């Protein structure tokens, strides 16, 4: 996982230690020895996570964090406070300053890396949403995002815990700060999370006949709950389960015995981040739906692709990250229209778009390029991975017939796919798209219902 990490500490030995650990995991590392430099770097550069020491001369870590979180231009950057302070009051003060996490020195390598990777995944999502909002020229995005939620709008929490004593204790701790729904059955908890408008799901360990990480995994696999924050409440001695949970995508955890103020602060952090991303999604939807969404399929249209692809391309070049493009064409689509009319053809296009959407990631950009042609832009995707994705989509399209009439009549449909990837040097958007188009032509002229990946 490639990301840019800023390490802030006034002691060179501490900086070097973290730098070596991060470089070993192939992260790009920047360093700062004071708070002013850290803020300047965050404002000027594309930082994915900040590892911030607290005890520094001049401006301490609490103040640095507070300033970063108050500035809409840097508020979305995750901040992990790494410090020798181990008092609960210090953790709470850090979380209330806006920190996304708090690690005590000496830091366990596994814990550090899983935390960083988890926050990088969240930052990637936020970056994509901000990028799409920017693409739609939503000039007021920073002002909109800087507006605070109404005080009366309590975060809504779903607590999944089968032990009544634990439920009562946690509910009492959260008091009037949250609106809490508690369920004992994890299966019911899954459906409630999917159907309810929750800001966070709190999952406790200790079920008699159920692995709580299975619920976490299920929540991450469902579209409706994929980005819903999950906090794990664990017992002492469950470090392996916690680490596994972080790998699965939980956002945070606490170990019993739980301190009330820390629990409250951590849940407020998760709710704040979720609402930030929700605002981004709403902004994107409101400003671009009519202009850049294809009305038939619900995918982005070519107008959006032409604008957004250049931004994605420039970002990949600047960060030296891979980028792949997939062009698809429904085979013999004219014959479908000729035989079943435009209503039948529209049914095929809508179903094709639905299957395409299910087989790409949230950060991928799927568009209707025109007619029966579709394009998918895949950030951070190497050529061989993109080819596998293309083959999976081709197989998915061919796996089941498409309904073309109201009486349920269905026909076989196949698709030809061309794939291209960003060259290390001297590439451009037009050349990238041209290679994908040439690969698509080769797939069609070579017999259709196949994938051709154009070598860089």
Residue 243 φ/ψ, nearest 5 degrees: -60, -40
Beta bridge partners of 403: 410
Q: Which of 128, 351, 372, 387 is catalytic?
A: 372
Q: Is the Cα dihedral 389, 392, 394, 396 positive or negative?
A: negative
Q: 374 Cβ partners below 8 Å, 6+ apart?
A: 299, 327, 328, 329, 352, 353, 356, 366, 367, 368
Structure-block tokens of residue 196: 């309810």
Helix (H, G, I), strand (E, B) or coil at 130: helix
Distances (CA, A) of 281 to 139, 184, 219, 442: 15, 32, 19, 38
Rounded CA-CA distance 321/76 in Å is: 21
Count how many residues are written for the chain. 456
Structure-block tokens of residue 95: 């979380």
Q: Identify each DSSP E strand in 169-258 by its residue range.
A: 179-183, 200-204, 230-234, 252-255
> Residue 98: left (phi > 0), alpha (psi -120 to 50), or beta?
left
Helix (H, G, I), strand (E, B) or coil at 29: strand
Q: Do 336 and 344 contact (CB within 8 A), yes or no?
A: yes
Residue 252 φ/ψ, nearest 5 degrees: -160, 170
Rounded CA-CA distance 196/83 in Å is: 38
DSSP of 154-181, one letter per residue? PPEEEEE-S-HHHHHHHHHHHGGGSEEE
Rounded CA-CA distance 296/143 in Å is: 33
Considering only the C-alpha atoms of the chain, give the largest distance between any 2 of them, rounded to a whole number of Å: 77
Rounded CA-CA distance 14/30 in Å is: 13
Beta bridge partners of 62: none
Sole residue written with tokens 């999370």:
193
DSSP of 303-343, one letter per residue? HHHHHHHHHHHHHHHHHT--EEEEEEEETTHHHHHHHHHHH
Q: Is 142 a catalytic residue?
A: no
Catalytically active residues are: 372
């Amino acid at each position: 996982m490639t990301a840019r990490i800023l390490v802030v500490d006034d002691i060179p030995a501490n900086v070097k230690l973290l730098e070596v650990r991060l470089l070993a995991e192939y992260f790009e590392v920047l360093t700062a020895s004071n708070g002013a430099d850290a803020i300047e770097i965050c404002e000027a550069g594309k930082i994915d996570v900040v590892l911030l020491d607290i005890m520094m001369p001049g401006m301490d870590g609490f103040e640095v964090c507070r300033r970063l979180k108050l500035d809409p231009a840097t508020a979305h950057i995750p901040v992990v406070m790494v410090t020798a302070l181990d008092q609960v009051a210090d953790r709470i003060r850090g979380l209330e300053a806006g920190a996304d996490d708090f690690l005590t020195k000496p830091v366990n390598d596994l814990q550090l890396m899983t935390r960083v990777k988890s926050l990088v995944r969240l930052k990637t999502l936020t970056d994509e949403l901000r990028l799409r909002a920017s693409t739609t020229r939503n000039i007021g995005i920073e002002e909109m995002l800087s507006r605070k939620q109404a005080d009366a709008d309590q975060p809504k929490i779903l607590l999944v815990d089968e032990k009544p004593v634990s439920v009562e204790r946690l509910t009492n701790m959260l008091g009037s700060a949250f609106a809490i729904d508690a369920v004992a059955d994890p299966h019911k908890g899954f459906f409630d999370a999917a159907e309810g408008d929750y800001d966070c799901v709190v999952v406790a360990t200790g079920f008699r006949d159920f692995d709580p990480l299975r619920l976490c995994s299920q929540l991450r696999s469902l579209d409706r709950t994929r980005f819903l924050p999950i906090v794990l409440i664990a017992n002492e001695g469950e470090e392996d389960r916690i680490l596994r949970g972080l790998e699965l995508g939980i956002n945070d955890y606490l170990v019993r015995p739980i301190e009330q103020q820390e629990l409250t602060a951590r849940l407020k952090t998760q709710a704040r981040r979720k609402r930030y991303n929700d605002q981004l999604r709403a902004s994107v939807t409101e400003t671009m739906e009519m202009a850049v969404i294809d009305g038939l399929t619900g995918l982005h249209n070519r107008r959006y692709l032409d604008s957004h692809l250049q931004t994605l391309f420039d970002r990949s070049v600047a960060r030296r990250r891979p980028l792949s493009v997939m062009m698809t064409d429904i085979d013999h689509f004219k014959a479908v229209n000729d035989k079943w009319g435009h209503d039948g053809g529209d049914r095929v296009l809508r179903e094709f778009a639905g299957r395409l959407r299910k087989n790409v990631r949230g950060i991928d950009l799927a568009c209707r390029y025109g007619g029966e042609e579709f394009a998918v832009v895949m950030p951070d995707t190497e050529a061989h991975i993109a080819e596998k994705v293309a083959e999976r989509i081709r197989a998915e399209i061919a796996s089941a017939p498409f309904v073309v009439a109201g009486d349920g009549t269905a026909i076989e449909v196949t698709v030809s796919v061309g794939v291209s990837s960003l060259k290390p040097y001297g590439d451009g958007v037009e050349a990238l798209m041209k290679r994908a188009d040439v690969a698509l032509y080769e797939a069609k002229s070579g017999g259709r219902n196949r994938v051709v990946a154009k070598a860089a």
